[in-house]
Amino acid sequence: MNIFTIKKKNKQKRRGEIKTAHGIVETPNLMIVATQGTVKAVSALDLKDWGSDFIVANSYHLYLRPGLEVLKEAGGLHKFMNWTKTIFTDSGGFQVFSLSKLRKFKDEGIIFQSHIDGSLHSFTPENNVQMQRVIGGDVMMVLDECMEFPVTYEYAKHSVERTVRWAEKAREEFLKTSPIYGYEQSQFGIIQGSTFEDLRKICADKLIEADFDGYAMGGVAIGESKDYIRDVIDMADGIMPEEKCRYLMGVGEEDDVRYAVEKGFDIFDCVIPTRNARNGALFTKNGRILIKNAKYKKDFTPVEDGCECHLCKNYSRAYLHHLFNAEEILGGILATEHNINYYMRMMKDIRDGI
């Protein structure tokens, strides 16, 4: 099932829409990260008001807390967190790589240690599909192996072969199982291969044979230089299907997003808008503001002129500076609202320019 439609094209740039059971997402667009079923410092109701049409949650975290039993009794993640729009769910492969102190990759799957209590768990391509059925997102990602950077060609080749085998098993499991909550789900494959274009091409060709509903470029923005990230972005148009949605995972710096749109990517996800906000970094059309700096102590102007967010319409830079210096929770809440609004405006401007 192809949930993606291209509406306009300008060279490699594409404007389109993703249609799921929970609405239409205009692309290019950026998913706000809701790792544990929440975007830090904001509610689902706020996100809808600010123009966000989709979020991405994480199977690793939700499997550990609150657990699949709770989510199933709640009727799935949409109901549990009161989010009525589209949800993507990541498989959790990256979180095993980045959070678990003990992890073993085998042909059958991954054995890993919980970062919460040290207990041992196992993800396989099959049980990962089953848990994402329980979570109930509109689009699920397959289990893949996220490689460290840098990595040797030999290791990357072996890892790609494993990722392909897992993807084939995950696709088979997806096609023989049914949604739990009465609406259709989709499944995306993840292209790995580090910075080796021939391995990325081999991986993509194999995943295309499995006919996924969309395709993601994984293993990006995990420590590479900006040049390496751009090299991987440049590969997209040559190896990813034209008619399917193209997802660049984990990339959210504004210049990288704009560059990737130019090269034919449709959707992105990143913690940059929210994580930066909680640390006092706000994005504006005139550049980034570090609100903790002393120069803002008596600056009674808005963070950004013309911005319609609650922060900019009602409070000054001086007040936000005070909130952060006093370690008040409200500072992070207001800053997060602003940054999400900034990114939503940015993505709309990008779409309007295609």
In DSSP terms, which residues pair with 23 in a beta bridge?
A: 20
- The two tokens of residue 107 are 């042909």
Element (H, E) at 90: strand 86-90
* One-letter identity of residue 180: I
Q: How many CA atoms are closer than 13 Å to the CA of 18, on its beta-carbon side?
A: 29
Q: 245, 249, 321: which is closest to 282 by C-alpha?
A: 321
256 is catalytic: no
User: Of the candidates 18, 23, 58, which has an alpha carbon nearest to the alpha carbon of residue 38?
Assistant: 58
Which residues is 105 bridged to in the sheet?
Answer: 110
The gap between the terminal CA atoms of the chain, to the nearest Å, is: 26
Question: How far is C-alpha 265 from the chain's CA centre?
Answer: 13
* 283 and 342 Cβ atoms separated by less than 8 Å: yes
- Does 269 qualify as catalytic in the annotation? yes
DSSP 8-class letter at 96: H
CA distances to 9, 198, 238, 261, 267 from 166, in Å: 33, 20, 23, 29, 23
Q: Which of 90, 138, 144, 256 is catalytic?
A: 90
Of the candidates 144, 213, 256, 269, the residue annotated as catalytic is 269
Whole-angstrom Cα distance, residue 125 to residue 109? 7
Distance of alpha carbon 250 from alpha carbon 148, whole angstroms: 14
Burial 169-182 (b: 16+ CB within 10 A, else e): bbbebbeeeeebee
Q: How far apart are CA 319 and CA 153, in angstroms?
A: 52
Where do we find the tokens 């003990």? 102
Would you name the residues annotated as active-site residues?
90, 269
